Amino acid sequence: MNAPNFANLLLEIESNIATVTINRPRALNSLNTETLKELGFVFDFLKSRDSVAGVILSGAGDKAFVAGADIAELTDKNPLTAKEFSLLGQAVFNQVELLPKPVIAAVNGFALGGGCELAMACHIRAASFHARFGQPEVGLGLIPGFGGTQRLPRLVGKGRALEMLLSGGMIDADEAYRIGLANVVLNSFKVDAEGKEFMDEKGRRVFDRDLFMKSVFKMMEGILEKGPLALKSVIEAVNRGFNLDLPTGLLIEADLFSNIYATEDAHEGMTAFLEKRKAEFTNR
């Protein structure tokens, strides 16, 4: 099955890593219904591809990961169609979160509103030094509709989440890292021929998108060196147990821990460790 083409997304598959780029730079990669449906389709496609082991999700251009939902489309909605739009976004973001393969959000700029919600649905968030996160919906007289009121408190705590949700303000990449919203901040600065940081006419450091994406790709490669069935089981254990009481979550973990012992990869990994060599996992 060939990789599909999309109106609002770019899909590249290199080795065993898929890169999905939301490609609406003139609209700062904002999410409309068509883009959400394409995202749902591409994650279904990637789930079915055994040759794809991990996914990197980013936005086109240097300014924005996703700057939010498409406000022009939102103005045409009524209570019924607004709920349908909310449920669509939630369903698609659930697909991202539940994908049994690692998903890294490469946050290359503004991640606001629906963009912050999309980043939070990913398993890991790698932010560029100039990334900005926020849930500004209250400034429009709205509230988040794609999971922001639910995932943000789970990631950063109730008090900090309420501060962001009620103020509608933005935080920078370093603050996002400090509170646990970003997993890592990658200082991908453009350098000149002598290796010195390149400065624009205002004396500001310049973002190097290619270097940033290479760093995220390297991060994903490091993850994918581990046992693929183990990675899948970790994602399943966290997603199934996160909102349950601890004893129930521990039972889920024990079941998955025992199941992994039936795999060839588990025995290969332990044998390789004892023999002081690199494991050769086969996804079996």
Check if 137 is active-site: yes
Q: Tell me the C-alpha distance between 26 and 169, whole Å.
A: 23
Strand bridging mode 110-112 / 184-186 = unpaired
Name every residue whose Cβ is closer than 8 Å to that of residue 262 and which is 6 or more positions away in sequence.
none
Q: Tell me the C-alpha distance between 74 and 88, whole Å.
A: 13
The answer to whether 55 touches 102, Cβ cutoff 8 Å, is yes
Instruction: Considering the candidates 84, 117, 194, 253, report the single residue annotated as catalytic.
Output: 117
Q: Tell me the C-alpha distance between 259 and 132, whole Å.
A: 41
Name every residue whose Cβ is closer than 8 Å to that of residue 90 and which is 6 or more positions away in sequence.
145, 146, 147
Instruction: Considering the candidates 137, 194, 275, 280, report the single residue annotated as catalytic.
Output: 137
**Bridge partners of 199?**
205
* Residues with active-site annotation: 117, 137
